[in-house]
Structure 1
Amino acid sequence: MTPAAAPATDPLAPRLRWFGWGPPTPPGAPEMDLPPEADPLLHELGAADVHQHPVALEDVRLAPSTLDTAPFAAVVGEDAVRTDRLTRVAHAAGRSYLDLVRLRAGDASGAPDAVVHPGSPEQVAELLALCDRLDVAVVPFGGGTSVVGGVNPQRGGHRAAVTLDLGRLDRLVSVDRVSLTATAQAGMTGPALESALAEHGLTLGHHPQSFEFSTVGGWAATRSAGQASTGYGAIAELVAGLRCATPAGEIVCRPLPATAAGPDLRQLVIGSEGALGVITEVTLRVRPAPAVRRYEAWTFPSFAAGAEALRTLAQAAAAPDVARLSDEEEVRMNRLVAAHAAAAPEGQVAAIFGWEGDAEDVERRAARSARVARAHGGRTDPGDGGEQWRAGRYAAPYLRDVLLNRGVLAETLETAGEWSRLGELRTAVTGALQATLGARGTPPLVLCHISHLYADGASLYFTVLAAQQLGAEAEQWHAAKAAATEAMLAHGGTVSHHHAVGRDHAPWLADEIGAAGLDALRAAKGRLDPHGIMNPGVLGL
């Protein structure tokens, strides 16, 4: 589903197209569309006769910038400060469903006054000091892939807002092959990092669905979890050290294997989403690149049986590096639109298992996983469904753009809970979405899969599809999101497993960490960002 990329003529040009997912497409490039097999889905949702497209860029509503950019140009150079229409619109929002609805309708009213491209950690620090003096809000920006409002500029009472695009901070700074650590600048994208590490025979193994565009700094700032985090670990486990520029000075957490020197400041910065400062460098725990990657498709007689198999694997320390279990609705959706190959016969559910390492290790672990899976009714798919899934694992966001063209609300949300309540949690969230959207006359399809296994629980990832309530898209989704989030909290789930808090989840953060916990975060922000210029509104700060 990936469109052809336009030639890269400007290194500071937006990396995502301004109204959707994927790189900018050249003029005249063919539009993506759904396969004919998806027609029954559109009819089922009541969106079969809808055809809509984004407005032209020149028709997007954009407030004029009144910011004097000369002081910023004095720090980074004139070419590294942009106020043109395309750049401002492309940095006006992240890539949530409502972000895209607004942008496609021509609303970029929240765009920053300017986009500034620092070229070094030192320039970042200088820019923060400048913004602090000038009363300008600062929004750190990596790949722009946030789906929780994390990069949507808010002025927060300040006289202007600038976005700091970290795309020029794109170097692999150093590699310690003995200690298996590597230091990368925050603006490196997933493909750039993996390519650079491969030259040293190494890998990080962190592959979120946004891998093509998201960045090292963004992963750390949002507590990202990659698709292989069960085996490789989530980003919070992979960060050994970091540098973070704040208005009050730089936080430097040296890379150490472990320390008892007080609370771990790395964990304060990881997940801080730019509310405290700007992550400029990250030292990561890496591994030798795997000699073998083996991915298989499995089926189970029911979601409960598959979940029990995954629990047993996780608690026996025998889980594959990638372990995903799709429920019946997700299997049906995959069959209709061929988003990826995790399909199964009628009445069964599908799983993807993946192992990476040397040949002997992969063979041994795959055999152990297979014994546990078969004991719970699992069966291997004789085809190459596992490899097909791996080849297409970044496709879903592209598909969402096509569904928007056809009047379909398509959004995701996720949580995590303990094994003892995971079934209850899934039922409650699914029911909340079905009841809320059904009451608005737009009954949804709610898809769910398990991924990211732990000894004590797992994540649940939901995809919601419904006919858009045209003219009331925001009200429709806000109602559904609120109902789903309340269900998560009431049934033992977290408000976010890996999408972060941003602005969308901020109203529920106190329910998860408590009033005293939120006060502690506010106190940290007050010390590091005394004038409140850093990404106002994220984390509710």
Structure 2
Amino acid sequence: MNDVVDHRLRTSWTPEAGKAAALPPHAVRWLAHRIGPLSPSAPVAPESAYAVPPSRLSDAARAALVEAVGAEHVLENERERLGRAGGMSYLDLLRRRHPDGLAVPDAVVLPGDPDEVQRVVDACVAHDVGVVPFGGGTSVVGGVTALRGDKAAVIVVDLARLDRLVSVDPTSRLAVFQAGVRGPDAQRLLAAHGLTLGHVPQSFERATLGGFAATRSAGQASSGYGRFEDMVQGVRLATPSGPWRLGVAPASAAGPNLRALAVGSEGVLGIITEVTVRVRPLPERERYEGFVLRGWRHATEVVRVLAQHGLLADVTRVSDVDETEVTLALKGGFAAKALRRYLAVRGVHEPCLLILGWLGAAPQRARALRLLKAAGAVPLGKAPGEAWRHGRFSGPRQRDALLDLGVCVETLETATHWSRLGELYDKVREALYDALDRPVVMCHVSHAYETGASLYFTVLAARDPHDPFGQWERAKRAASEAISEDGRGTITHHHAVGTDHAPYLRAEIGDVGMSVLAAAKHATDPMGILNPGKLGL
């Protein structure tokens, strides 16, 4: 087994993955005070706790897959199959500790190039085997769960070996990547050409460019660089109906934008094997800084004005009062106490932390700072911005430590227009507080637009030892209903649909929209082998 696969299994399954992010004692005490008594539990390696069912792959299907990629790249032992059983949601992580009902694929196949991916798909068509594309495995909405649908067997097609930068066109500022390239590797490969992609979601360390495209990912610097869908200029897919390429020009009026249909299709229309992306010169400098605004309504109003005047920083993130409180509580010590006293003297009793990250020359910064000053923002200098930058990938690793402590910890996100942002914020919080006992519900805006913004919620609650799965399922359902009711917001701004959001998709796109998706599915995948059960298809 190659090193890429070994690394993925370690980060997916071993309890040591989260040890470096263990919470300091003062943070644990604060958490227990806020959400109630905790029930720590030691993690269990799932391979020792779960009886993996034997593979259902037929001898004929196995032989066809071996012919497509070679015997060494068709993996059927328990560890490799467990390593691709689900994504990284709270319930996924919980299932690995209590593995009843874990959907384990029958085999893992690792093609080495786009042509091999097509041969794998063709083999699965011939033998009626379900196919789940797998990049970094970071889905938090059931997007990589190995559901069989009506198939006797299902395989995971792991794209880890599709790890090449195919070409760079510096004149057009385009780069072609194979779909299995992870975020840090893409950054490193482009930096050698003095270029950057500028796409840095929290899943950056593990997620792949194919996954970014398949889920319409948004990154922390999307205010400056755009969402990933804005960066995609072309895609190559392997489908049961044959190879599919899209994107030959920077703009086109040649019918509906089918490239946009492929981007965000979550593996149900085809397996993305290559992505052509827009790239930009590496910024010569980066500057991150922090401010405090008075109260959530005022803070979001300030971000709205920045957005509508074209003054957003590349990274623009504002936390509500609860998230700001948690940030200070985790920081602890003299510095946090001194900051609270300083803000109180300045008359700020409901502080909301604003982080701005400027990448490159940032000619709009001076005007933005004048607007912030007029809005009463309290400047905190570079330290909070740099602290956020250095810790911005720690959240997923901290979840392991929180799970060990007996904490239910999960996120959900949405977006709406500015005129409904306050209503949506209130309704989601109300739903979560009603569904959970003594939770901490935090929120921030990390993506702002001229017409609206995203809301990203993080929830902490003492885990129910008697019904840990039902505890979060009920809370997520209540929040999702609050989002969908009366069209308040989108069911997902950037986490995608997968299985978790599928029940709410029809309410957002309508019966006609679902029929259009079903028709596209039938055109590319008439036998329904691709990623069964995702997008409600």
TM-score (norm 2): 0.93
SS of aligned partner of 1:133: helix
Partner of 1:126: 119
SS of aligned partner of 1:217: helix
Distance in 1, matches of 2:19 and 2:183, equals: 27
Ranked by relative contact order (alpha carbons within 8 Å, sequence separation 6 or more), the top structure is 2
Q: Within 5 A, what are the aligned runs for 1:385-396?
A: 385-396=384-395
Match for residue 323 of structure 1 among 316, 324, 332: 316
Change (3 A) 1:89 1:310: same
2:365 corresponds to 1:352: no
What code does the residue aligned with 1:468 have? Answer: R
SS of aligned partner of 2:177: strand
Partner of 2:208: 215
What code does the residue aligned with 2:460 have? Answer: L
Change (3 A) 1:201 1:383: closer
Q: Deviations over 1:138-170 (max 9, x none)?
A: 000000000000000011010100000000001
Match for residue 232 of structure 2 among 236, 239, 242: 239
Distance in 2, matches of 1:473 and 1:159, equals: 31
Q: Within 5 A, what are the aligned runs for 1:429-444?
A: 429-437=428-436, 442-444=437-439
Distance in 1, matches of 2:101 and 2:189, equals: 36
Q: Contact 1:62 / 1:108 at 8 angstroms: preserved in 2?
A: no
Q: Contact 2:38 / 2:463 at 8 angstroms: preserved in 1?
A: no
Q: Give the C-alpha shift of residue 55 in structure 1.
A: 4.0
Q: Give the C-alpha shift of residue 384 in structure 1.
A: 1.1
Q: Contact 1:54 / 1:106 at 8 angstroms: preserved in 2?
A: no
2:529 corresponds to 1:527: no
Match for residue 44 of structure 2 among 23, 36, 54: 54
Partner of 1:4: none
Match for residue 448 of structure 2 among 433, 446, 453: 453
Match for residue 35 of structure 1 among 18, 21, 24: 24
Distance in 2, matches of 1:130 and 1:320, equals: 48
Q: Contact 1:61 / 1:107 at 8 angstroms: preserved in 2?
A: no
Distance in 1, matches of 2:39 and 2:525, equals: 51
Distance in 2, matches of 1:163 and 1:223, equals: 21
Greater shift in the superposed pair: 118-127 or 52-61: 52-61
Distance in 2, matches of 1:378 and 1:123, equals: 55
Partner of 2:512: 516
Q: Give the C-alpha shift of residue 481 in structure 1.
A: 0.8
2:71 corresponds to 1:78: yes
Q: Give the C-alpha shift of residue 16 in structure 1.
A: 5.0
Q: Within 5 A, what are the aligned runs for 1:336-375?
A: 336-338=329-331, 345=343, 347-357=350-360, 361-362=361-362, 364-375=363-374
What code does the residue aligned with 2:228 have? Answer: I
Partner of 2:463: 468
Partner of 1:5: none
Q: Give the C-alpha shift of residue 471 in structure 1.
A: 2.7
Q: Give the C-alpha shift of residue 535 in structure 1.
A: 0.2
Q: Give the C-alpha shift of residue 247 in structure 1.
A: 0.2
Q: Deviations over 1:23-55 (max 9, x none)?
A: 8859xx967532011112123212334333234
2:78 corresponds to 1:88: no
What code does the residue aligned with 2:30 have? Answer: P
Match for residue 497 of structure 1 among 488, 493, 498: 493
Q: Give the C-alpha shift of residue 14 in structure 1.
A: 4.8
Q: Contact 1:308 / 1:376 at 8 angstroms: preserved in 2?
A: no
What code does the residue aligned with 1:487 have? Answer: A
Distance in 1, matches of 2:99 and 2:469, equals: 15
In the alignment, structure 2 segments of 5+ residues that lack a partner are 344-348
How many residues align structurally?
Answer: 521
Partner of 1:334: 327
Q: Give the C-alpha shift of residue 289 in structure 1.
A: 0.4
SS of aligned partner of 1:452: coil
Q: Give the C-alpha shift of residue 286 in structure 1.
A: 0.6
Partner of 2:103: 110
Q: Contact 1:12 / 1:80 at 8 angstroms: preserved in 2?
A: no
SS of aligned partner of 2:364: helix
SS of aligned partner of 1:151: coil
Q: Give the C-alpha shift of residue 377 in structure 1.
A: 1.6
Change (3 A) 1:140 1:56: closer
Q: Give the C-alpha shift of residue 11 in structure 1.
A: 3.4
Distance in 1, matches of 2:497 and 2:137, equals: 15
2:419 corresponds to 1:413: no
SS of aligned partner of 1:354: strand
Change (3 A) 1:91 1:333: same
Match for residue 165 of structure 1 among 129, 141, 158: 158
Q: Give the C-alpha shift of residue 237 in structure 1.
A: 0.5
Change (3 A) 1:471 1:62: farther
Q: Contact 2:15 / 2:44 at 8 angstroms: preserved in 1?
A: no
Partner of 1:224: 217
Partner of 1:146: 139
Q: Give the C-alpha shift of residue 382 in structure 1.
A: 3.1
Q: Contact 2:56 / 2:152 at 8 angstroms: preserved in 1?
A: no
Distance in 2, matches of 1:390 and 1:77, equals: 43
Q: Contact 2:15 / 2:43 at 8 angstroms: preserved in 1?
A: no
SS of aligned partner of 2:80: helix
Q: Contact 2:318 / 2:446 at 8 angstroms: preserved in 1?
A: yes
Change (3 A) 1:25 1:305: same
Partner of 1:192: 185
Q: Contact 1:305 / 1:377 at 8 angstroms: preserved in 2?
A: no
Which structure has greater helix proportion? 2
Partner of 1:478: 473
Change (3 A) 1:63 1:471: farther
Q: Within 5 A, what are the aligned runs for 1:240-255?
A: 240-255=233-248
Distance in 1, matches of 2:54 and 2:189, equals: 40
2:534 corresponds to 1:538: yes
SS of aligned partner of 1:459: strand
What code does the residue aligned with 1:501 have? Answer: V
Q: Contact 2:141 / 2:499 at 8 angstroms: preserved in 1?
A: yes
Distance in 2, matches of 1:471 and 1:145, equals: 27
What code does the residue aligned with 1:365 have? Answer: Q
Partner of 1:400: 399
Partner of 2:346: none
Q: Contact 1:55 / 1:105 at 8 angstroms: preserved in 2?
A: no
Q: Give the C-alpha shift of residue 56 in structure 1.
A: 5.1
